[in-house]
């Protein structure tokens, strides 16, 4: 009987991975569409599903916060389009876009089972999801829409990178830093061909969040996942954007301390998934975990050095800003002092809908903190920053820290 169940689950996973099953009725299996270039990621997940057997059908609650209390005042939009990236407020952003891995693809964000983690709930992703309004979901695009209802490019539904629901979200599950150059080219091509984008004149906010899969794989090939390779790959993508995209404010979100996931590796399901999908920081020896933690730290430091070098501050209409709010953040805890899994998908790895909303607030708040003084230790439950007319409304860059609003 057990072998029969495992075999059938394996067949379902195969069908999900290759797009044969694509239901959306909220019942097992969850709707799914997995892009073709994520074979390593899907192979690992297939192994995990086989190992879980009947446990893969376990139904979990879908956690979502109640309605958000949002009382920020409106901003006055600039009478004319700003000419400098250092003079932008949220009301000036016309286009939002995103690059990254399964977190930005929204994998598992609305899942009620482990199989649901294959589903790309892009509409819920913290940096690019545009489902509902800011009162229900505090993603960055929803917050942006409060100040400029004409914001365009956010993800609107469930689907892979090539679906209409993706919008300008080119993130793909399983991708690593080495894939960012390809994503940058795809994004450029997509923006140029999209009738909703005025490529030359629209101000664009592009958010990149990458590195978790690099750290998950590092202990299998230390030479391939060095900090220098990580930064070199990101630099190649940023260089391409810098050379080809006018009027762009690029966020690079630092990778969090992924070794903390070992605190969530309790219970058969989460322990099995972590062991097979992201073993290096969660299921390996203490010596390996310590090495991953140091690698994690070097990723952060060398990425910051790249962005602080001024390489991307050679034009008035383009900049790259590091958003480090996750760097030193700790897992959310319950009142009993244990990790609060309601912020995570059933795999105890990806963010749940509730988690995405809270991470969205973290990124939003970082946008308005001065470069060099940005928070690196964000807390679940932080209040939403309300930008107000004048200097406090500026999206902070390395060059507007000392400028007053009228001079920008």
Nearest Cα residue to 103 out of 128, 131, 130, 125: 125
Which of 31, 102, 113, 127 is catalytic? The answer is: 102
202 is catalytic: no
- φ/ψ of 31, rounded to 5, equals -60, 150
User: Apex CA 95: angle with CA 75 and CA 349, to 5°?
Assistant: 100
Question: Which secondary structure element, helix H or strand E, spans residue 251, and what is its range?
Answer: strand 248-253
Of 214, 257, 313, 347, catalytic = 214
User: Alpha carbon of 122 to those of 130, 159, 401: distances in Å?
Assistant: 9, 7, 33
On the 0-12 / 13-18 / 19+ scale of CB atoms within 10 A, 222 is exposed
The 8-class DSSP code of residue 199 comes to T
Let me know if 214 is a catalytic residue. Answer: yes
Q: Which residues is 76 bridged to in the sheet?
A: none
| Residue 310, token pair as written in the block | 């001024």
Spatial distance between the Cα atoms of 106 and 158, rounded to a whole number of angstroms: 9
Residue 181 three-state SS: helix
Query: What is the DSSP pairing of strand 204-209 with strand 248-253?
Result: parallel
Spatial CA neighbour of 48 closest among 215, 225, 265, 214: 265
Cα–Cα–Cα angle for 318, 166, 150, rounded to 5 degrees: 60
Three-class DSSP category at 376: coil
- Annotated active-site residue in 179, 350, 353, 375: 350
Sign (positive or negative) of CA dihedral 189, 195, 201, 204: negative
Query: Catalytic annotation on 102?
Result: yes
- Closest by alpha carbon to 326, among 287, 365, 273? 365
Rounded to whole angstroms, the Cα distance separating 98 from 144 reads: 14
Q: Where are the beta strands (DSSP E) in 34-150?
A: 95-100
Please give the positions annotated as active site.
Answer: 102, 214, 350
């Amino acid at each position: 009987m057990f072998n029969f169940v495992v075999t059938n689950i394996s067949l379902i996973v195969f069908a999900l991975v290759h797009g044969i099953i694509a239901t959306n009725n909220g019942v097992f299996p969850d709707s799914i569409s997995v892009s073709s270039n994520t074979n390593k990621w899907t192979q690992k997940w297939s192994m995990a599903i086989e190992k879980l057997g009947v446990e893969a059908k376990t139904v979990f609650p879908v956690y979502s916060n109640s309605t958000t209390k949002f009382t920020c005042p409106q901003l006055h939009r600039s009478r004319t389009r700003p000419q400098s990236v250092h003079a932008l407020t949220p009301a000036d952003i016309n286009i939002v876009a995103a690059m990254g891995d399964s977190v930005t693809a929204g994998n598992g964000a609305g899942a009620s089972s482990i199989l649901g983690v294959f589903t790309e709930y892009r509409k819920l992703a913290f940096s690019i999801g545009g489902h509902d309004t800011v009162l229900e979901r505090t993603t960055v695009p929803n917050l942006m829409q409060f100040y400029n209802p004409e914001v365009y490019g956010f993800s609107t539904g469930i689907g892979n990178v090539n679906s209409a629901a993706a919008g300008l979200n080119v993130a793909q599950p399983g991708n690593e830093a080495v894939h960012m150059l390809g994503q940058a080219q795809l994004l450029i091509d997509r923006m140029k061909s999209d009738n909703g984008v005025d490529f030359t004149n629209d101000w664009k906010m592009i958010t990149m969040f990458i590195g978790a899969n690099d750290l998950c794989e590092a202990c299998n090939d230390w030479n391939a996942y060095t900090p220098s390779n990580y930064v070199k790959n990101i630099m190649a993508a940023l260089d391409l954007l810098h050379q080809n995209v006018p009027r762009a404010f690029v966020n690079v979100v630092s990778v969090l301390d992924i070794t903390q996931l070992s605190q969530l590796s309790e219970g058969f399901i989460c322990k099995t998934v972590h062991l097979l999908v992201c073993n290096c920081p969660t299921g390996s020896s203490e010596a390996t975990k310590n090495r991953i933690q140091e690698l994690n730290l070097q990723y952060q430091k060398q990425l910051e050095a790249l962005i602080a070098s001024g390489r991307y501050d050679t034009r008035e209409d383009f900049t790259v800003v590091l958003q480090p709010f996750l760097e030193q953040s700790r897992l959310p805890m319950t009142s009993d002092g244990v990790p609060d899994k309601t912020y995570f998908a059933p795999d105890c790895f990806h963010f749940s809908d509730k988690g995405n909303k809270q991470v969205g607030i973290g990124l939003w708040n970082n946008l308005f903190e001065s470069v060099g003084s940005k928070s690196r230790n964000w807390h679940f439950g932080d209040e939403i920053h309300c930008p107000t007319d004048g200097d406090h409304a500026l999206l902070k860059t390395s060059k507007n820290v000392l400028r007053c609003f009228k001079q920008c």
